[in-house]
């Protein structure tokens, strides 16, 4: 009888340990995930504040496109690796680097100049300019938005979700293949 009680106690302790580990793992991951989300959110807010531009969500951008809102949409991803394979409908390519580009560097913009970017954006400095890249952590769109502001464009918006969020909503993409 005593060994039966020991076996039951042992099984009970094992169950509690397994349940406790699973419980801690579940909440541990949840809390760690929140830290990652917070870090990304704060980084994005600081980039937006530093850049002096606005942001738009995937649904808002889709609504603008569907409504025929006049805008220039700039895809800042590498042409061959990304833009060509799928981009937001109506977007035009202009590659920017991931790290902050404080000085114009044609080696980081696929040999294109400031004048090339300004020509792409057009003469109307009040035109709506939407700039995006691959996903929230990608800062190519930040560089594109900052340089549009530096060139004097006043209505610059960054679409941080980028092509990943666009595809995540199952919205149609265009290809250049």
SS3 of 77-116: CCHHHHHCCCECCCCEECCCCCCCCCCCCHHHCCCCCHHH
3-state secondary structure (DSSP) of residue 123: coil
* Phi and psi angles of residue 145, each rounded to the nearest 5 degrees, phi first: -70, -45
The pLDDT score that the predictor gives to residue 17 is 43
- Would you give the DSSP letter of residue 154? S
pLDDT per residue rounded down to tens, the chain (177 residues): 545 544 344 344 444 444 444 444 555 688 888 998 898 889 889 999 999 999 999 999 999 999 999 999 999 999 998 999 999 999 999 999 999 999 999 999 999 999 999 999 999 999 999 999 998 888 999 999 999 999 999 999 999 999 999 999 999 999 987
- Sheet with 72-75: strands ordered across: 54-55, 155-159, 128-132, 72-75, 92-93
Q: Which residue, among 164, 140, 159, has the nearest Cα to 63 in the 3D structure? A: 159
Q: Which uninterrupted H or E stretch holds 33?
A: helix 2-51
CATH class of 52-168: alpha beta
Q: Which residue, among 127, 136, 165, 154, has the nearest Cα to 54 in the 3D structure? A: 154
Let me know: does 97 contact 108? Beta carbons within 8 Å: yes
Global pTM value: 0.81
The pLDDT score that the predictor gives to residue 31 is 87
Let me know: does 158 contact 54? Beta carbons within 8 Å: yes
The pLDDT score that the predictor gives to residue 28 is 60
The pLDDT score that the predictor gives to residue 25 is 52
Sign of the alpha-carbon torsion through 97, 90, 151, 69: negative
Q: Domain limits of the chain?
A: 1-51, 52-168
Cα–Cα distance measured from residue 110 to residue 119, given in angstroms and rounded to the nearest whole number: 16
The pLDDT score that the predictor gives to residue 20 is 46
């Amino acid at each position: 009888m005593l060994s039966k009680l020991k076996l039951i106690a042992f099984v009970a302790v094992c169950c509690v340990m397994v349940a406790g580990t699973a419980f801690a793992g579940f909440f541990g991951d949840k809390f760690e995930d929140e830290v990652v989300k917070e870090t990304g959110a704060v980084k994005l807010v600081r980039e937006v504040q530093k850049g002096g531009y606005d942001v738009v969500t995937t649904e808002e951008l889709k609504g603008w496109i569907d409504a025929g809102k006049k805008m220039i949409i700039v895809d800042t991803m590498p042409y061959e690796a990304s833009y060509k394979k799928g981009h937001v409908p109506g977007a035009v390519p202009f590659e920017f680097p991931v790290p902050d580009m404080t000085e114009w560097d044609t080696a980081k913009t696929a040999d294109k100049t400031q004048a090339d970017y300004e020509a792409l954006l057009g003469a109307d400095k009040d035109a709506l300019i939407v700039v995006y890249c691959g996903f929230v952590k990608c800062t190519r769109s930040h560089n594109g938005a900052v340089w549009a502001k530096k060139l004097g464009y006043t209505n610059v918006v960054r679409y941080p979700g980028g092509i990943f969020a666009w595809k995540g909503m199952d919205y149609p993409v265009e290809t250049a293949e």
